[in-house]
Amino acid sequence: MFGGLRGGEALRVSVSRKPFRSAAATIGVPDLHPHELRHSLFDTS
């Protein structure tokens, strides 16, 4: 999903989980999962 700082390898889930959950809670969607963002670009419902 996102390239890492060293060598461009994929980020480990443990590295991104806490910041993502914090950001999701800040925008008022605490149960949001990163995978759900794949479907949000064209979803107008």
Q: What is the pLDDT of residue 11?
A: 67
Asked if residues 10 and 1 have their Cβ atoms less than 8 Å apart, the reply is yes
Residue of 13, 32, 10 lying closest to 22 (CA atoms) = 32
Q: What is the pLDDT of residue 25?
A: 94
> What phi and psi values does residue 3 have, to the nearest 5 degrees?
-75, 145
pLDDT in tens, the chain (45 residues): 556 666 767 666 666 788 889 999 999 999 988 878 776 666 555
Q: Distance between CA 8 and CA 28 in Å, rounded?
A: 31
Q: What is the pLDDT of residue 39?
A: 66
Asked if residues 30 and 23 have their Cβ atoms less than 8 Å apart, the reply is no
Q: What is the pLDDT of residue 26?
A: 94
Q: What is the pLDDT of residue 41?
A: 60
What's the DSSP call for residue 3?
B
